[in-house]
Amino acid sequence: MSAVMENILTRRSCRSYSAKQLSEEQLGLILKAGLWAPSGMNRQPWQFTVVQSPENLARLDKTVLKSMGAQERGSFFYHAPTLVMVSAPEDVFTAAADCALALGNMMLEAHELGAASCWIHGVTRTRDDREVRELLTELGVPPEHAVLGSLALGFADGPYKEVPRKDVVVLRK
Ligand X SMILES: Cc1cc2nc3c(=O)[nH]c(=O)nc-3n(C[C@H](O)[C@H](O)[C@H](O)COP(=O)(O)O)c2cc1C
Nearer to ligand X, 15 or 59 (CB): 15
Q: What is the CA radius of gyration of the chain?
A: 16
The span of 16-24, 43-51, 85-93, 112-120 binding ligand X (CB under 6 A) equals 112-120
The DSSP result for 116-133, as a single string, is EEEEE-HHHHTTTSHHHH
Min dist. Cβ of residue 119 to ligand X (A) = 4
Residues in contact with ligand X, shown as a per-residue x/- string from 60 to 99 under the rule CB under 6 A: ----------------------------------------
End-to-end alpha-carbon separation of the chain, Å? 25
The span of 9-17, 33-41, 62-70, 87-95 binding ligand X (CB under 6 A) equals 9-17
* C-alpha span between 157 and 2 (Å, rounded): 27
Q: Which residues pair with 118 in a beta bridge?
A: 152
Dihedrals phi, psi of 27, to nearest 5 degrees: -60, -45
Q: Which of 7, 8, 15, 129 touches ligand X (CB under 6 A)?
A: 15
Contact 41, 92 (CB under 8 A): no
Contact call for residue 121 and ligand X (CB under 6 A): yes
Interface positions with ligand X (CB under 6 A): 12-13, 15, 118-122, 163
